Structure 1
Amino acid sequence: MIGITGVTGHIGNLVAQHLTSQDFPLRLLARSPQWVAHFPKATVMQASYENTPATVQALTGVETLFMVSAKEHPQRLQQHFAMIDAAKQAGVKHIVYLSFYHAALDATFTLARDYKRTEDYIIAHGFDYTFVRDNFYGEFFVDLATQYHEFRAPAGNGKIAPIFQADVAAVVAKILTNVSAYRNQIVNLTGSKEYTLADMSNIFTNYLNTTVPYIDETVAEAYQSRQAWPAEQWEYDSWVSTYTSIANGENAGISPDVQRILGRPAMTIEAYLQQR
């Protein structure tokens, strides 16, 4: 039995679509089951990122768990630990965890540190594991360009190879259908092409037929500009470090793993825009 969290979100839903089309029995776990789409051969159970009897019951009988990270929150790491503890009590054997590219305790991107701590907790508790580390999503940059018509960030000339969610879901589904082949492995997911934000500025200027400038902010300017959105300090830190991590080269590089697993290259920004 395969368990899937995050099924009311985009990645979890897409993974469930892939697997149900291949006739795999699924256990779909959701805080609000009423919002889960119907899938044949899938059982929906209420579960949250807590170590409660309800969560343990929902996980009982699941051999492989696809664990999407919880919503960004000050207690997200503790929520991850609680879910992992519940999975251990329920007898889950293998966790496929949706982590982050360059997850490290000293990562510039503040949230990437919690991804690494979650990975370490999974290993420490004796699970077989597959860590799917995806780069920033391509959809994020598409939304910035189409909604705000600019890239304003302290990213310098750093490069990034963004990955699109459809490719992430396809890879995860492939792993879940043959999980033993990916036992205790790290899978890095990037797009098949690197870009600076200046490159993206040119692409979206042409696509939208209007100027989409790249304003290379200082870190101080980035914090100041984001004060337009009321938030807590940890959120401002994560927003700004999204871009300083790019400037530091931590999101650069093209992984061969999408090609290796799917037998095709990952989608580029240009290809994504052509199909919109």
Structure 2
Amino acid sequence: MNTTPPTDAPIIAVTGASGAVGGGVAQRLVRAGVPVRLLGRDPSRLPELPGAVAAPPASYGDGAAMRRALAGAHTLFLVSAHESPDRVREHTTAVDAAVAAGVERIVYVSFLGAAPDATFTFGRDHWHTEAHIRVSEVRYTFLRDSWYLAGIPAMTGADGVLRGPGGDGRVAAVAHKDIADAATAVLLADTGSEDTRHDGVTYDLTGPEAFTLAEAAEELSRATGRTITYHPETREEAYASRAQYGAADWEVAGWVTSYEAIATGEMATVSDAVPRLTGRPAQNLATYLREHPDSYRHLLRTD
């Protein structure tokens, strides 16, 4: 990986570069020819990208390390940390470190419907992070993602059943690549210019249509050639079916309430932000499944 930025353009620091969203954004920024700095707790896990610089190791909760990693950066693309009971503190520490390091702008990956009383418990974390960024001395843009399209097949069991307390609610799930494209458009708008049109703006990033989980099961049936069904669990059933994983209570609550947010209608929002920012339509579930057959390989019968 290069050790010096390729140009004199403002440096964009990218977190989460080992993941689908952060990695996708980093790749797009590099292709655009802007200097990119990749942040992570373990630099050995960061992708090798021509023109990208690996920052010293830094975790969100380590303010001193984050300040060192962000020194000289103009913009921070902040992908939310892995879910944990301490995630809000980690986020606020990272934001404070960015401000102390002189970062002028934060583009934060939040979640659709973020609110202090959101049904989805992790959505509350995002609201508190947004609130902290709003009062910080930094320009900001919030990208509120819906469910990921990739999550639909991933959360369907090998038995062909998609289980969750989603009722008959709808969700406008979005593709990782659409998020990455939209985020890149926002990040590049300010590169080498005084373009501030995204400052203080919140974008809901969704797919082009809101579908029920029963309709998602029908789409999976068409893709896999077998019958996939949706079982609308009760809350009690949802907690019981997830007890086998031995996860902490707060984590299981996050899993269950993500479905309950669909049931309440909090995930039904359909936004035109992706096509407005990228200049092309957002991907729907059918197209996603056609282009990503590996996503449902576990659902294909081998007998």
TM > 0.5 between the two? yes
Between the aligned partners of 1:95 and 1:87, the Cα distance in structure 2 is 8
Instruction: Give the TM-score of the pair, scaled to structure 1.
Output: 0.97
User: What is aligned with 1:185?
Assistant: 201
Shift of 1:146: 6.8
SS of the residue corresponding to residue 89 of structure 2 reads helix
Between the aligned partners of 1:245 and 1:144, the Cα distance in structure 2 is 16
Q: Percent identity?
A: 38
User: What is aligned with 1:212?
Assistant: 228
SS of the residue corresponding to residue 138 of structure 1 reads coil
Larger helix percent: 1
Shift of 1:99: 0.2
- 2:100 alignment partner AA: Q
1:81-92 alignment runs, 5 A limit: 81-92=92-103
Whether the aligned pair in 2 keeps the contact of 1:50 and 1:86 (CA below 8 Å) is no
1:27 aligns to 2:27 (yes or no): no
Alpha carbon RMSD of aligned pairs, Å?
1.2
Instruction: Give the TM-score of the pair, scaled to structure 2.
Output: 0.89
Between the aligned partners of 2:76 and 2:99, the Cα distance in structure 1 is 11
1:81-230 alignment runs, 5 A limit: 81-145=92-156, 147=158, 149-179=160-190, 180-230=196-246
1:65-76 alignment runs, 5 A limit: 65-76=76-87
SS of the residue corresponding to residue 137 of structure 2 reads coil
Shift of 1:119: 0.3
- 1:125 alignment partner AA: S
Between the aligned partners of 2:17 and 2:68, the Cα distance in structure 1 is 18
* Runs of 5+ unmatched residues, structure 2: 1-10, 191-195, 293-303
1:2 aligns to 2:18 (yes or no): no
1:261 aligns to 2:290 (yes or no): no
Whether the aligned pair in 1 keeps the contact of 2:223 and 2:290 (CA below 8 Å) is no
1:16 aligns to 2:26 (yes or no): yes
Whether the aligned pair in 2 keeps the contact of 1:59 and 1:90 (CA below 8 Å) is yes
* Runs of 5+ unmatched residues, structure 1: none
Whether the aligned pair in 1 keeps the contact of 2:111 and 2:146 (CA below 8 Å) is yes
Between the aligned partners of 1:169 and 1:221, the Cα distance in structure 2 is 35
Which stretch shifts more, 45-54 or 234-243? Answer: 45-54
Which stretch shifts more, 67-76 or 144-153? Answer: 144-153
Alignment length (residue pairs) = 276
With over 3 angstroms needed to count, the CA separation of the structure-2 counterparts of 1:148 and 1:76, relative to structure 1, is: farther
Between the aligned partners of 2:108 and 2:61, the Cα distance in structure 1 is 17
- 1:275 alignment partner AA: E
Between the aligned partners of 1:165 and 1:66, the Cα distance in structure 2 is 15
